[in-house]
Structure 1
Amino acid sequence: MKNTIKLITAAAFFGMLMSACGTGEGTQSTTEAQPSADENVIEDQLGREVTINENPENIVVGGILPYFSTWYVATDSTEEIAGMHPNSYNAAENSMLAEISPEVLDASTDFVKNGEINIEELMKINPHVYFEKESDEKTLEKVAEAGIPSVGLQTNKVADSDPLATFNSWLELTADIKGGKVDERVDSFMEEGSNVQNMIDDTLKDVKDEDKPRVLFLHKHSDKSIVVGGANFFSEKWTEATGGIDIVGDDGVEGMKEVNMEQVYEWDPDIIYITNFTETQPDDLLEDKVPGQDWSEVKAVQEGNVHKVPLGIYRWFPPNGDAPLMLKWLAQHNHPDKFDYDIKEEIKTYYKNFYDFELSDEEVDSILHPSSEAAKY
């Protein structure tokens, strides 16, 4: 990959490390075990140069929750995942990744204490690299100061929160870390996503706006709070990429916003998608089970168009390895008259081709209808 710079000698690495420490843009290595293999200098998504062992044996994933699954997609391995955020671990426990590569469940969550990174516990894992969302610069700096290479990853700045583009950028960065050893695998995933999007675009090219469904993503939800997704957020990009109208973003809402039922009534969506960041299930709305909230007045509920977003290799809402399947699943719900493929067969074929895993009918059903447990943490 273009960002990868081979370091020829240990002396060169040491000189770079000392220079970085002097400028405050530090690239640091663990003090307990110096990497013996070649090293790379990669540029993370904060624009920082970070020196990393080309074959890191221990990686830790903090608040950038989906990245542990990206590591698997790029490398075909979870053995290196030594630690992950408890929220990530809960998703992993309820994902197909736990079946495909069960070593992922060996990861520790002890380094997260009361929602914060505990450096002492993190050091016990002896990570060769730590991954964090780029917005959490405080944690990235704290980890780097402890001598652990820290890599910042963007979530909402890649093509204005395009989940597929974001996932592709993470794949490319992972390939940089691996010194180009996984380029072919990474390229195959990226090509599939592009092919699926092109297929959807071609199929929907003549659809007029008045024939597109008005979509609302229910991101987090309880009897006390309704949080929806709006513009410059994954919900907007998924909706627009699959022939829907983001009624929340179009109304001027940016990112995530807490709203009340009166606002939902005003929007009156044709379709509601419920993410895996809430325990709420479609039946909770369809059967009017939520105390203090009357969803029966909403068009999507009246017509039975309320759907839980699937969870396969990871939650399908944020950037993830099943992104091409998310596109197909959404496109079919948004335009069932134009996409007549069997989504269950599409999922089976994808998992066989890209994960070399044969899914049973029961496993496909578990992907399409994830339990509420996956949202708990």
Structure 2
Amino acid sequence: MFRIRHLATCIACAVALLSQPASAEIMREVVYYGDRSVSLPPEIDRIATNWEAQNSILTMLGYGDRIVATTRIARSMPLMQKFVPSIKAAALTTLGDGTVNVEELMVLKPDILFSSRALPDAVSRQLRGAGIAVASFRSNSIDALVERVLITGEMLGPDALEVARRYQGYFDDNRRRVAERLEGIPPDRRVRVYLASGAPLSTSGRPSLNQDWMDLGGAINIAESWFGDMPYASGIASLENIIAGNPDVIISMNAEDAEEIRTNPQWRNVKAVREGRVYANPRGLFWWCRETSEGALQFLWLASTLYPDALADIDMREETRRFYRKFYRIELTDNEIAEFLKPTY
């Protein structure tokens, strides 16, 4: 009798499954950081993000053309527009005050929203209730960046995960290559650096993503201990402290800030300005010094800039060409590579 009832139950279950609409999908769950998870369809077709740098990662993983909502900054980046033309038609994920545009996302119905921070619980519930997965990530360190690439790849699917794993191997190899070439340079011969991150007096200390790539590139960050009690170890420096720190080299995230530092008389007594060693940070689809997968080139470029003799065998033009060919499937021209390495805007 039990076997008959069991057979009847199995038949009923099978009938129920067959009666489901053809469009019903078997969702997959991705668990990350041990205590977070997202429920996703088998195929990710529509993507939203409120994190500028995430657009570059998505493009590297082969999903740039599936971005349906992004930020104003990402949408306006000239090279993002060139290599991902569809980004120009993407809606804005956030409102003017920086909050997520829930109404727009409900209309667009992306499969997933990649967020730079945890959203308010009410917003997350509303989006998830509409079938939009929400993934937020750790940030502000090199390790968190590489981990985010891998997690994003897993969420997007096997094809993206394969690229993410190759990227991790490439990143680790660049770490090794730089470390091997710098290991003979003692601390007292390391180059002292000041980073202008978004404005001439805006900078970062430890712990931060910026500190991490300066460590990897062999730099001594003169602001390392300035903002230990500030969020993200970042803040506004005083010009007096910068002058007292007297950096050998200044790296500016923006070309216009680099020009301001070079030409402003208040900076003229800083060693880096006197000796003509003020550099605009490279920028591709996004700034290499930020939370982008292009950061795999950032510390390689920095080490090559600070210690050209130790890295004489590293040609940053060819490194740039190979990286974008291998991971972004982009063939850069010589002029484009020159603009990446020495941006003029």
Q: TM-score, normalised by structure 2?
A: 0.85
The CA deviation string for residues 316-374 of structure 1, in whole angstroms up to 9 with x for no partner, is 012323223212211111211211232112211222232232211111122123344xx
Looking at structure 2, the residues matched to 302 and 38 of structure 1 have their Cα atoms a distance apart, in angstroms, of 64
Looking at structure 2, the residues matched to 321 and 339 of structure 1 have their Cα atoms a distance apart, in angstroms, of 22
* Partner residue in 1 for 2:168: 190
Q: Which runs of 5+ in 2 are unaligned?
A: 1-13
Superposed counterparts of 1:175-324, under 5 Å: 175-221=153-199, 226-251=201-226, 253=228, 255-276=233-254, 280-288=256-264, 294-324=266-296
Candidates 44, 69, 75, aligned match of 1:83? 69
Superposed counterparts of 1:19-98, under 5 Å: 36-45=24-33, 47-62=35-50, 64-74=51-61, 76-90=62-76, 93-95=77-79, 97-98=80-81
**Aligned partners of 2:267 and 2:273 also within 8 Å:** yes
Q: Which amino acid aligns with 2:85?
A: P
Q: Which amino acid aligns with 2:67?
A: I
* Partner residue in 2 for 1:102: 85
**Aligned partners of 2:192 and 2:219 also within 8 Å:** yes
**How has the CA–CA distance of structure 1 residues 78 and 303 changed in structure 2, closer, same or farther, with 3 Å as cutoff?**
same
The CA deviation string for residues 111-140 of structure 1, in whole angstroms up to 9 with x for no partner, is 423322221122122111111123544554
2:101 is the alignment partner of 1:113: no
Looking at structure 1, the residues matched to 98 and 162 of structure 2 have their Cα atoms a distance apart, in angstroms, of 37
List 4+ stretches of structure 1 deviating above 6 A. none
State how many pairs are aligned: 322
* Partner residue in 1 for 2:328: 355
**How has the CA–CA distance of structure 1 residues 58 and 234 changed in structure 2, closer, same or farther, with 3 Å as cutoff?**
same
Secondary structure class of the residue paired with 1:370: coil
2:145 is the alignment partner of 1:167: yes
**Aligned partners of 1:42 and 1:51 also within 8 Å:** yes
Structure number with higher helix proportion: 2
Secondary structure class of the residue paired with 1:49: strand
The CA deviation string for residues 39-67 of structure 1, in whole angstroms up to 9 with x for no partner, is 221124583222111312111101x2211
Superposed counterparts of 1:124-135, under 5 Å: 124-135=107-118
Looking at structure 2, the residues matched to 305 and 40 of structure 1 have their Cα atoms a distance apart, in angstroms, of 51
**Shift in Å, 1:242:** 0.9
The CA deviation string for residues 44-102 of structure 1, in whole angstroms up to 9 with x for no partner, is 4583222111312111101x22112111212x232210000112223xx322x433332
Candidates 294, 319, 334, aligned match of 1:346? 319
Looking at structure 1, the residues matched to 287 and 239 of structure 2 have their Cα atoms a distance apart, in angstroms, of 26
**Aligned partners of 1:59 and 1:82 also within 8 Å:** yes
Looking at structure 2, the residues matched to 319 and 144 of structure 1 have their Cα atoms a distance apart, in angstroms, of 26
Q: Which runs of 5+ in 1 are unaligned?
A: 1-8, 13-33, 373-377
**Shift in Å, 1:143:** 3.6
**How has the CA–CA distance of structure 1 residues 282 and 244 changed in structure 2, closer, same or farther, with 3 Å as cutoff?**
same
Larger Rg: 2
**Shift in Å, 1:179:** 3.8
Q: TM-score, normalised by structure 1?
A: 0.78
**Shift in Å, 1:150:** 0.8
Q: Which amino acid aligns with 1:206?
A: G
Secondary structure class of the residue paired with 2:293: coil
Looking at structure 2, the residues matched to 35 and 314 of structure 1 have their Cα atoms a distance apart, in angstroms, of 38
Q: Which amino acid aligns with 2:136?
A: G
Taking only aligned residues, the RMSD between alpha carbons, in angstroms, comes to 2.5
**How has the CA–CA distance of structure 1 residues 322 and 118 changed in structure 2, closer, same or farther, with 3 Å as cutoff?**
closer
**How has the CA–CA distance of structure 1 residues 141 and 266 changed in structure 2, closer, same or farther, with 3 Å as cutoff?**
farther
Name which structure has the greater RCO, CA cutoff 8 Å, separation 6+: 1
Q: Which amino acid aligns with 2:190?
A: K
